[in-house]
Structure 1
């Protein structure tokens, strides 16, 4: 099966033209990075220029509709502007990412390993956990960057490089692995060793609060167990979440999309108003047109060919930007239609179960395209800026209830519980059932952990 997957990845790469590969990269590129990509392209191509306009920009005009994104005249119609004037737009968690990257730069590793490690850092979720399995990451590196790497190599770079960065615990697959990484980097005293053993060998019992079994299996006293539990409770559940950084980031996000409620309907637009407007050097374009129209039987000089090639590349880049925007607007339009009630009300209960495949089917694109289009993207709504991945959740049971809805109700129940007599997971199951949600106890425990809510015993206030 592994060989078949590798062969499939090679076949896909062979079918992708350089233009298609660049389009895929730009689809994945968030608005925070797009200006740099555009300026780098301008620096490398003398036929591609930025048109600076002095006239006052009209911020009240609606962004062009989907049909306006035409590749042929894109550089004349679409407008890219600088991103540092939009009142809601700043940098997204640059402080945290840059801190990690600076640590990488100080390590004596190869450039290849450094590049892959940075790519893995880009796959961290807001909690600092890695998203995607090793095979998926390897496939993405092959398709996007033409880097051939085995899943085992991914695992090695993850464990020996990424997971050694501070704050310890980032790059883990789950909470259990993150806790073990954190403990590995603490002093090796008796209590920390015991906490490590409990998490490593008795994690299921720990989640079930089966403390008697843990004491019996490890032959330890209640005092020793309590001390170990206190140590575990102090471990970071979200090593990628630094409160001061994320609070700052929340007010410093550049949304990729903007949704406005006009009272009669919801209007969707791309946040392209602050990126540089691109034009092609008129003299170079005239030379290119003459060459294309065969007014010349042959190129007069190597300089002419150089210019013609640059104009061709410039046109291709502008076309790629148009394709990117068209793809993004189609996918976001499908999401808006799918989650219309949520965007109207702002109530998370209204978020319908929705997975990547649902949008892929609706837009008739590959699921990987939807994944790239929604990765690290944000939408500005009438009730705040939210990450697109916040809108995706699986259905629970046959009733079409979203896991996000259940989590919201669960969180509300726990917030309203008596702090002196917090509800056990079994009692939470019963409370959810009273509200019309039939959820298994293990699912309740899973959702509680994902909400970073400790067990009842640790929630109790004395």
Structure 2
């Protein structure tokens, strides 16, 4: 066997992300509270940054103030952008391993802060996802599923809609969901109560045919119709009692243990109001915008008196960081305003008529309209809210897949289904087919099974259960 060494010259392209570029991307997806915490930390460590007033209106700090700021910065350690680290599906490969490691260290949150508070359900599941698979596509789908879980740990979003939004196959979404359903807490990722209980029983090796039949007839359990349950399960009274006792030991809301005690108030980042001429006016909320300025007068004065190379290096670093931060904050504000203006433009009917007028809108349609990448729109929509005359809504509220023939938003159709059921009389309960016919008469072409799916996602009982409930009330 002959071995030979040789040199080869290859040309290739790769995207190298500098630490400042990584931080700029991270700043874009921070909430206003996380951004305020980051800016406050920078004001503490960078003497060239000034909050609020113009530099000429405030006294110029002295050299002693500069040296004290340098000592604080040295003690504080490396700069860290607050918030959770980015998912691996959002990471861009770098050409140098050292640059990748540096970028990763910039994105990790404070460990003390992470340990001081309890992990949320999404953080707990994402940590397990990191260990469960290295497939980037599976991670991407899994992260979207995790973000769409409610506080109880249930998934209410339709898998077909999610697959269409991510441009993957429904089978791939199903596979990612099965992976999440294998995580702790047991039962998480279920789409209904029966599936949640089945996951927990399967892990205990107790999901036999009799128990499956019991889970398929939970409405009989709610009615305490034990005779019918014995018949459908094929068991006697003693076995049925044991099965019901085992069901009661399960956790119907597996994500509830991770629910935070504190309630976060949704503060709008963008305000939309109706102008006197009837047009919609979009503006940034001034209360959520950090006000920081670069004090160049202070830089000029200190640059004249510093002598040590170490001090000069620190001063140069402060100038560079302050310049970058002021530019990044300005660009962040412009990007958020541009995306919000396009959302308002595409969803103008909602702001004038309400939820029933929501149109289908995707990240891709907004990105193409304003000439940005879908990932940028996704980062802008994360942790942001729009304040309207109809209340404050997360930006993600306005993104919804199409249903029927594509002219109506799925969220708008769900809202219409809720309205029709809420308007029912005691003796006029609508079946899923009757609701579908009402919607078709309104120009919304949907099938009965689609109505049933939306009704179940709204946690509304079937027409038979609603009729039974009405009879009990009367």
**Does 1:311 find its partner at 2:326?**
no
Tell me the CA shift for residue 35 of structure 1: 0.6
Are 1:388 and 2:395 matched, yes or no?
A: yes
- Identify which of 271, 276, 280 aligns with 1:266: 280
Distance 1:284 1:224, change over 3 A: same
- Residue 406 of structure 1 and its aligned partner are, at CA, apart by 1.6
- Aligned counterpart, 2:433: 426
The structure with higher relative contact order (CA 8 Å, sep 6+) is 1
Cα shift readout 1:317-369 (whole Å, capped 9, x = no counterpart): 11111121111111111101111122133x11211111111101111111111
Larger Rg: 2
Tell me if structure 2 keeps the 8 A contact 1:183–1:196: no
1:28 positional shift: 0.8
Kindly tell me the number of residue pairs found equivalent between the two proteins. Answer: 355
Residue 301 (structure 1) aligned to one of 304, 309, 333: 309
In 2: Cα distance, 1:449 partner to 1:158 partner: 20
Q: Which runs of 5 or more structure 2 residues have no equivalent in the other structure?
A: 1-11, 55-112, 133-142, 163-174, 222-227
SS at match of 1:458: helix
The C-alpha deviation readout for 1:72-112, integer Å capped at 9, x for no partner, is: xxxxxxxxxxxxxxxxxxxxxxxxxx99984449xxx9xx8
Q: 1:434 and 1:123, CA in 2 relative to 1: closer, same or farther beyond 3 A? A: closer
CA contact (8 A) 1:237 1:452 kept: no
Note the alpha carbon deviations across 1:397-449, whole angstroms, 9 max, x for none: 33512222221221112112244663332333233334333311221111111
Q: Is the 8 A contact 2:342 2:370 kept in 1?
A: yes
- Other structure's SS at 1:273 match: helix
Q: Provide the C-alpha distance between the structure 1 equivalents of 2:210 and 2:14, rounded to a whole number of angstroms.
A: 46
**Alignment partner of 1:267: what SS?**
strand
Distance 1:104 1:332, change over 3 A: closer
User: What residue number does 1:365 align with?
Assistant: 372
Name the stretch that deviates more: 271-280 or 303-312. Answer: 271-280
C-alpha distance in 2, partners of 1:121/1:444? 22
**Residue 7 (structure 1) aligns with:** none
Helix, strand or coil for the counterpart of 1:15? coil
Say which of 354, 362, 375 aligns to 2:361.
Answer: 354
Q: Which runs of 5+ in 1 are unaligned?
A: 1-10, 54-97, 137-151, 207-212, 291-295
2:212 pairs with one of 159, 173, 197? 197
Distance 1:327 1:115 in 2: 31
Normalising to structure 1: TM-score of the pair? 0.61
Q: Is the 8 A contact 2:339 2:380 kept in 1?
A: yes
How does the TM-score come out when normalised to structure 2?
0.59
1:98-137 alignment runs, 5 A limit:
102-104=117-119, 123=147, 125-127=149-151, 128-129=153-154
Q: Could you say which residue in structure 2 is the equivalent of 1:401?
A: 408
How has the CA–CA distance of structure 1 residues 32 and 176 changed in structure 2, closer, same or farther, with 3 Å as cutoff?
same
Confirm or deny: 8 A CA contact 1:353 1:395 kept in the other structure: yes
1:219, distance to aligned residue in structure 2 (A): 3.0
> Which of 184, 197, 207 does residue 180 from structure 1 map onto?
197
Residue 38 (structure 2) aligns with: 37
Indicate conservation of the 8 Å contact 2:360/2:409, yes or no.
yes
Compute the displacement of 1:382 (Å): 1.4
